[in-house]
Chains A and B, each alone.
Chain A
Amino acid sequence: MKNFNYHCAKDSKEASKLSSTNSAFLAGGMTTIPSMKLGLATYKDIIDIKRIKKLAGIKVASKSVIIGSITTHSEVANSKEIKKKIPSLASLAEGIGDPQVRNRGTIGGSIANNDPSADYPSACIALDAIIHTNERKIESSKFFKGMFETALKKGELIEAVEFKIPEKSSYQKYPNPASRYAVVGVYVAKHKSGVNVAITGAKSCVYNDKDLSKVLSSSFSSTALEGMTLNSSDMNSDIHASAEFRASLIVTHAKKAVEAC
């Protein structure tokens, strides 16, 4: 691996100031480090943000749960407050990778990376999350731009993710048996305003399936999804699953999610 200069930032301002076109923020490093080892990414400066106190911790408000960006998956999975307010979010975190990945990987890192098969982006879309950065607040619907692409600008740092507490919700995934990444993941959340059905793993980027959301907003039951078929023309097709299989998995897992709500 090419060498770099390691910096440990004490606050968001310093982290942002240190960043350049040739730098990366380092949280858990669960994607950054393997990418660097494989030579897929090289940086002149690595800016560690794990010791920035403001980015840590979980806060519960009346209508939302706010999770600091350096909160690890195991902290989310084991949080009593999250288990009580949004149990589906704790169970999503519990299903990421393996215990060692969950001990290091962070929510901010997962969202900033926007892997097309990552779990957390679907939670953001389903739970109308607002991404708090050091510069602004971004709605999830405007945050995830495409494969590994987000609305983040250079030097912009995710500080926290604010999830709206739904009436009911469930995340169901068909995991890749080796990596536990989602071949398809379906996050159903019923809010007062309607139902979101966020899909990860199926296309190049997470999305809210408008057809499924519409059906479930008018009738929140798995039987309402009976016989539904989705257009698979822009779905991923790889050694793990064909596009047609993914389309079918979405409906099956949406039903499972509704039943688990």
Chain B
Amino acid sequence: MKKITVEVNGKKIQKEIEDNTILSTFLRDHLNLTGTHVGCDTSQCGACVVHVDGKSLKSCTAFAIDLDGSKITTIEGLVTNGKMHPMQEAFKKMHGLQCGFCTPGMVMSAINLLQNNKNPSEQEIRDWLEGNICRCTGYQNIVAAVKEAATKM
């Protein structure tokens, strides 16, 4: 067991964890932040994408202990003063979700895209979302939602 200190969604957190604790387990089971989903658990599907120090990563493929001192943002951290993030609003408006399982990862990944590229083309959006799989195959509206969000962010 080792103690780590991280900032999760703006809140400083100290926890004792086993060395082999995976970040997605830490978020879901230790902090009860179940908005981060675990789909394939083998870093292919992207449902578990979160931001660490401003960059997106797959939380099923990172050790929590190795992120000691980092700032982590999960889907739960996007709402400010009860208002959804523009990317969440855009997913709602453009019907960018069906069953909703992949959505937290899609939203986190898409926000990271717009942080790097304010006005991406359709191809750039599709290339960026390479690591996020939607089993409902709702990609048309997901892409439309990211485009919509780009006009608001």
Residue of B nearest to A72 (CB): B55
Interface size of A in residues (CB-CB distance below 8 Å): 29
Chain B residues contacting A215 (CB-CB under 8 Å) are none
A33 at the interface (CB under 8 A from B): yes
Chain A residues contacting B58 (CB-CB under 8 Å) are 100-101, 104
Q: Is there an interface contact between A1 and B20, defined as CB atoms closer than 8 Å?
A: yes
A-side interface mostly: mixed
Q: Is there an interface contact between A99 and B63, defined as CB atoms closer than 8 Å?
A: no
CA distance A258 to B63 in the complex (A): 42
| Residue positions of B touching A, CB distance < 8 A | 2, 18-20, 22, 41-44, 46, 49, 55-58, 61-63, 65-66, 68, 109, 112-113, 128, 130-132
**Which of B19, B42, B49, B65 is in CB contact (< 8 Å) with A37?**
B42
Q: Is there an interface contact between B62 and A2, defined as CB atoms closer than 8 Å?
A: no
Chain B residues contacting A4 (CB-CB under 8 Å) are 19-20
Q: Is there an interface contact between B44 and A33, defined as CB atoms closer than 8 Å?
A: no
Query: 1/0 contact trace for A89-131 toward B, CB 8 Å?
Result: 0000000011111011000000000000000000000000000
Q: Is there an interface contact between B55 and A6, defined as CB atoms closer than 8 Å?
A: no
A26 at the interface (CB under 8 A from B): yes
Known: A2-B20, A3-B18, A6-B63. A99 touches B43 (CB 8 A): no
Q: Is there an interface contact between B19 and A100, defined as CB atoms closer than 8 Å?
A: no
Q: Is there an interface contact between A29 and B62, defined as CB atoms closer than 8 Å?
A: yes
Chain A residues contacting B2 (CB-CB under 8 Å) are 6
A180 at the interface (CB under 8 A from B): yes
A5 at the interface (CB under 8 A from B): yes
CA distance A100 to B113 in the complex (A): 11
Q: Is there an interface contact between B19 and A34, defined as CB atoms closer than 8 Å?
A: no
A46 at the interface (CB under 8 A from B): yes
Q: Closest approach, in angstroms, between the C-beta of A162 and any C-beta of chain B?
A: 27
Q: Is there an interface contact between B63 and A33, defined as CB atoms closer than 8 Å?
A: yes
CA distance A179 to B22 in the complex (A): 22
Q: Which 10 A-B pairs have the closest CB atoms?
A: A98-B131, A6-B19, A98-B130, A103-B55, A100-B58, A3-B20, A33-B61, A6-B65, A100-B57, A100-B131
Query: 1/0 contact trace for A1-23 toward B, CB 8 Å?
Result: 11111101000000000000000
Q: Is there an interface contact between B62 and A104, defined as CB atoms closer than 8 Å?
A: yes
CA distance A178 to B133 in the complex (A): 10
| Residue positions of A touching B, CB distance < 8 A | 1-6, 8, 26, 29-30, 33-34, 36-38, 46, 48, 50, 74, 97-101, 103-104, 178-180
Q: Is there an interface contact between A34 and B65, defined as CB atoms closer than 8 Å?
A: no
**Which of A3, A33, A97 is in CB contact (< 8 Å) with B19?**
A3
CA distance A173 to B131 in the complex (A): 18
Chain B residues contacting A179 (CB-CB under 8 Å) are 44
Given A3-B19, A98-B131, A104-B61, 12 more contacts at CB 8 Å? A4-B20, A6-B66, A37-B42, A38-B42, A46-B19, A98-B132, A99-B56, A99-B113, A99-B130, A100-B46, A100-B56, A104-B62
Q: Closest approach, in angstroms, between the C-beta of B53 and any C-beta of chain A?
A: 10
Chain B residues contacting A5 (CB-CB under 8 Å) are 19
Residue of A nearest to B2 (CB): A6
Chain A residues contacting B113 (CB-CB under 8 Å) are 99
Q: Is there an interface contact between A99 and B20, defined as CB atoms closer than 8 Å?
A: no
Known: A2-B20, A6-B65, A29-B61. A103 touches B56 (CB 8 A): yes
Q: Is there an interface contact between A101 and B131, defined as CB atoms closer than 8 Å?
A: yes
CA distance A180 to B128 in the complex (A): 13
Chain A residues contacting B66 (CB-CB under 8 Å) are 6, 8, 26, 29, 48, 50
Q: Closest approach, in angstroms, between the C-beta of B125 and any C-beta of chain A?
A: 12
CA distance A101 to B109 in the complex (A): 12
CA distance A216 to B19 in the complex (A): 52
